[in-house]
Chains A and B, each alone.
Chain A
Amino acid sequence: MRPVITRTLLVASVLLVGCYANTVTSSQQIRKDGWLASHANVRVVRETKVSDDLLRVDVEVENTQPFNSRFNYKFEFFDAEGRLLFSPVSGYRQEQVAAGAFSTVTATASDPRAADFRLTLTNAN
């Protein structure tokens, strides 16, 4: 799928879903490899604040393949100056997603200085 169409779809879906403080992130924030590069659509990215000042990110990943798949993902948080923030619970998690279905992966920064994030999606099949 072309990047322009992807972005258009992304924006459109965000507008459809958009209920609170949604942000569409740049493609640099989300990195993919393996089957995910071509068959995982990141449909919605939501950035909100929980517990007053902690950044929470929700990302919906769609499996466009005709079979169930598995992927690893990792969130990292950065402060306003782009410095990586340490987290005792950061690391790769694994998620299963059925054929043609969505899976929502989330993360909450434990440091109130978190201003940006990076999500890495990698193949686990």
Chain B
Amino acid sequence: MNPKPLLFVILSAITFPSILGCNQPARVVTDDRDKIVSIDQIDVQDWSNAADQVLQQLFASGALETAPMKPARIEVTRVVNDTAQRIDTDLLTQKIKIALTQSGKVVFASSDTRANEVADYRDFKAGDDAPRLPFFVINGKILEIRSSAGSTKQSSFVFQLNLVNTVESIDAWSGEAEVTKQGTRNAKNSRG
């Protein structure tokens, strides 16, 4: 047997899979550990992490129990994005809304214009002219701090939230979460 075709087959068998191995077909990622970790951006898992941290602080504070009525009416006013990323802060506030609503301690005022019109009309028909005022208001700020040492870059994102008691106009609770990422380049996952 001529050895050349055999050699060709063996070489092809070795090189073909290794070429294939360089390409990664698209897949759905459900495990946080397989999600990309960017150094200078807030990744999808960071929002969940930050929301978890501040929610734990809020629940532990007992501030939600200070409302005279349960569930207390609450509104998110503004979460200022003070980072260098064009992001939607709803990625944080929506998670907080879901968790707080789930706890049964508060109800969120809707920002839907039509819903408000209908509610106003119903109140009018019922002869109720009292405005629907929130007992609590949530506001906050997301900050970014960058630093570097040699080729290692570090970004810290600080998530600050306040729960304001609107009757007394005082901060009933203030919480803060921090996510810090460091490295020379982005990583495909956080499995190490």
Taking Cβ atoms with an 8 Å cutoff, the residues of A that contact B are 50-52, 54, 56, 70, 72, 74, 86-94, 106-108, 110-112, 122-125
Contact = CB atoms under 8 A, between A and B. Distances in A.
Contacts of B33: 72, 92, 122, 124
Nearest to A72: B33
A107 B103 CA distance: 14
A51 B103 contact: yes
A88 B98 contact: yes
Contact of A89 (B48, B65, B104, B190): B48
B31 A93 contact: no
B131 to A, nearest CB: 28
Contacts of B103: 51, 54, 110-112
Given A72-B33, A89-B99, A108 B56 contact: yes
Contacts of A90: 48, 52
B100 to A, nearest CB: 7
B32 interface: yes
Contact of B60 (A51, A74, A110): A51
A94 B98 CA distance: 23
Contacts of B105: 51
A56 B56 CA distance: 9
Given A51-B64, A72-B33, A125-B192, A110 B48 contact: no
